[in-house]
Structure 1
Amino acid sequence: MAPSGGIGIIGLPGLAVGIPATLLLAIVLAQLAFGGAWLPVVRRTLGSIGLRRPNPPDAEVEQPLS
Structure 2
Amino acid sequence: MNKDKVICPCRKLTKGDILKAVEQGASSYKEVKKATKAGSACGKCKKQIKKVTKKALKK
**What TM-score do you get using the length of structure 1 for normalisation?**
0.25
Higher relative contact order (CA 8 A, sep 6+): 2
| Bigger share in helix | 1
Higher strand share: 2
Q: Rg bigger for which structure?
A: 1
- Relative to the length of structure 2, the TM-score reads 0.28
